[in-house]
């Protein structure tokens, strides 16, 4: 048995799981949030112990050191020494054209991840920081990078290439790369197990603060809503999703925005936040229920965009066996699922509202018995998928 530590480092958070492989037993898990703020919080859970502590978490180094203290605690720890962790798997959002598979991290890999900062400004910088901190605290562990973009390497050129001059594709590698690949891979494999079909046509819908959808045919990604960077496609917490390029030119040429200000607007100030003033869907649903028209419209817009892509991907695959909802919103928001699945009988989706309203952490089918297309809710487990890929390097 090998203990694999999984680190998912965000701009102000650090998620972790310590997984015993190949048994897949989670020894400890948790989250450090509000890193860099005075009111930081550490959530830690193991089989015999759990705690939530408030303290100032100055940076990611402090965060991982606090996690390590719990992992090795005399009373409730699950390991005795940093050497008990032979490998650490890191989620890295953008691998560009450089990485089509999981890799052991060295200086060249870190340099490449840094070169891709501009393509994933919200994600790659903290991803690299998490790697650097882990190297400091666990110097003897093999550090492994698992890229969100890797699962989408199977997307055919007719779908991944943009209609811009060929030299930008050939020399500058400007194309669709896709994201959330670890999640889409995990839940599509679970859906295939459920369907028990040799050939399947599945649409996976990953809805969190960041959102994306993937058309998965026979286990392979063939199209995806995110592209060169993680800002297009669906409406997200603070990201705009699809937008007419002319709007960008208008903002710069007519309204005096700089390119940096437009990037900040589309990444940080748009999406559900721009539409409602809230980025957390729970707040938006609560306000919508109280009659807030902006929040009601934002929910309709959000669901409408998802429905459009379901139709597009059903066409791209020439059929549809299942739609899978996953991630924080996909797994927990019966409101969004209902809005998406309403009036979709032409495509074979028939939602059972009673099943849809039940909260569960288990995989489940929320469609009616007669629904031609299965409507599945599958909790994602990116950490386990990263652990499976990391263990192969130990």
Annotated binding-site residues for substrate read 91
How many residues are there in the chain? 394
Determine phi and psi for 366, rounding to 5 degrees.
-105, 15
Sign of CA dihedral 375, 182, 306, 318: negative
For residue 39, give the DSSP letter: T
Q: The tokens of 351 are what?
A: 């939602």
Please say whether the beta carbons of 222 and 215 come within 8 A.
yes
Q: Which residues are annotated as a binding site for ATP?
A: 15, 206-210, 280-282, 328-332
Contacts of 348 (CB under 8 A, 6+ apart): 320, 371, 372, 373
For residue 138, give the DSSP letter: -
Q: Which of 59, 81, 106, 148 is catalytic?
A: 148
Calpha distance 45→65 (Å, rounded): 16
Where on the phi/psi map is residue 219: left (φ > 0), alpha (ψ -120 to 50), or beta?
left
Calpha distance 362→57 (Å, rounded): 33
Q: Which residues are annotated as a binding site for Mg(2+)?
A: 8, 382
Q: Which residues are annotated as a binding site?
A: 8, 15, 91, 206-210, 280-282, 328-332, 382
Nearest to 84 by CA among 188, 201, 180, 4: 4
Calpha distance 11→35 (Å, rounded): 8
Look up 148 and say whether it is catalytic: yes
HSE-up (13 A, CA, CB side) for residue 255: 12
Q: What is the set of active-site residues?
A: 148
């Amino acid at each position: 048995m090998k203990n694999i530590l999984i680190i998912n480092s965000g701009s102000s958070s650090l998620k972790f799981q310590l997984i015993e492989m190949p048994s897949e037993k989670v020894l400890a898990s948790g989250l450090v949030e509000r890193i860099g703020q005075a009111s930081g919080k550490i959530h830690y859970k193991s089989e015999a112990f759990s705690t939530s502590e408030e303290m100032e978490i100055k940076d990611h180094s402090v965060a991982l050191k606090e996690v390590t203290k719990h992992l090795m605690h005399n009373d409730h720890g699950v390991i005795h020494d940093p050497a008990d962790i032979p490998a650490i798997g890191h989620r890295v959002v953008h691998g560009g054209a450089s990485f089509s598979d999981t890799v052991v991290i060295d200086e060249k890999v870190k340099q490449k991840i840094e070169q891709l900062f501009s393509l994933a400004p919200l994600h790659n910088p903290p991803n690299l920081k998490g790697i650097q901190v882990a190297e400091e605290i666990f110097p003897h562990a093999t550090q492994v990078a698992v890229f969100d973009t890797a699962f989408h390497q199977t997307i055919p050129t007719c779908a991944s290439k943009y209609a811009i001059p060929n030299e930008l594709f050939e020399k500058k590698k400007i194309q669709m790369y896709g994201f959330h690949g670890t999640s889409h891979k995990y839940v599509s494999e679970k859906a295939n197990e459920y369907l028990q079909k040799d050939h399947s046509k599945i649409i996976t819908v990953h809805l969190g603060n960041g959102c994306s959808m993937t058309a998965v045919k026979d286990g392979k990604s063939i199209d995806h809503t995110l592209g060169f960077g993680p800002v297009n496609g669906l409406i997200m917490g603070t990201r705009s999703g699809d937008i007419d390029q002319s709007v960008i030119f208008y903002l710069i040429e007519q309204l005096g925005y700089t390119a940096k200000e437009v990037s900040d607007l589309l990444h940080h100030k748009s999406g559900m936040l721009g539409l409602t003033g809230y980025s957390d869907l729970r707040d938006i649903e609560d306000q919508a229920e109280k009659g807030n028209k902006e929040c009601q419209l934002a929910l309709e817009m959000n669901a409408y965009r998802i429905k459009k892509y379901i139709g597009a991907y059903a066409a791209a695959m020439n059929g549809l066996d299942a739609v899978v909802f996953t991630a924080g919103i996909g797994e927990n928001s019966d409101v969004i699922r209902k809005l998406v699945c309403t009036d979709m009988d032409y495509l074979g989706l028939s939602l059972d509202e009673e099943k849809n309203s039940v909260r569960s952490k288990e995989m489940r089918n929320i469609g009616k018995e007669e629904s031609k297309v299965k409507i599945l809710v599958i909790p994602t487990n990116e950490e386990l998928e990263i652990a499976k890929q990391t263990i192969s390097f130990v």
